[in-house]
Amino acid sequence: MRVKVKLLSVFATHAREDAEGLTAVPEGATVRTLAESLGLPLDLVRIITVNGQQVGLEEPLSEGDTVYVFPPAFGGG
């Protein structure tokens, strides 16, 4: 299946999209599976949303989901 993955700021270099801007993941994949396959540093993955809802790393993914993986937000000063 394919999902839309949005990686911001320092995570952007981990993006692996096809021509349609989608990322292929195996059936039954979770956010963790996806993050590991993209080589994201899991200790820096703190906030994840799927279709606008805050979720955890073990959230299962479905075809067409939109996944945001945010880098940690310090430095708000």
Partner 1 sequence: MPNGYWQKLLRVDLSTGARTVEPLAEADLRRFIGGAGLGAEILRRELPPKLPAFDSQNRLIFATGPFQGPAVPGGAKFSIVGISPLSGTFADTAAGASWGISLKEAGYDVLIVEGRSVHPVYLQIIDDTVEIRDARHLMGRDTVETVDAIHGETGDSRLSVACIGPAGERQVAIACVAVDKHSFGGRCGLGAVMGSKNLKAVAVRGTRKVPIADPERTRALIKRFQTEAHQAVLHNHFRENGTPGLCETAEGLGDMPIRYWDADVWPEGAKRLGAPNYTQVLQAKPLPCQYCPTGCHRRIQISEPSEYALAGPGPEYETLGMMGTNTLIDDPKAVAKANDIANRLGIDTISAGAMVGFAMQCWEKGWVTTRDTDGLELTWGNPAALIGLVDQIGRREGFGAFFAEGTLGAARRIHPDAADTVVHNKGLDYPAHDPRACISLAPTYVTGTRGACHFRGPCEDVEMGGFFLPEAGITQGTVRFFERANQSYVAVKCQDLGALTCSLVICMFMIDGSEFSLTSQAEIFNAITGWDWTVETLLEAGERAFTVQRLLNLRDGYGVETDVLPKKMRQVAKEGFRAGKSIPFEELMQDYYALRGWDASGAPTPATLARLGVTG
Q: What residues line the site for partner 1 (CB under 8 A)?
A: 6, 8-10, 12, 41, 44, 46-47, 49, 52, 54, 68, 70-77
Q: Which two tokens stand for residue 48?
A: 């994840």
**Least separation in angstroms between CB 67 and partner 1:** 12
Which residue's CB is nearer to partner 1, number 12 or number 15?
A: 12
State the Cα torsion 5-53-31-14 to the nearest 10°: 30
Taking only Cα atoms into account, the Rg of the chain, rounded to an integer number of angstroms, comes to 12
Beta-carbon contacts of residue 10 (< 8 Å; ≥ 6 apart)? 71
**Least separation in angstroms between CB 33 and partner 1:** 20
Which residue's CB is nearer to partner 1, number 60 or number 72?
A: 72
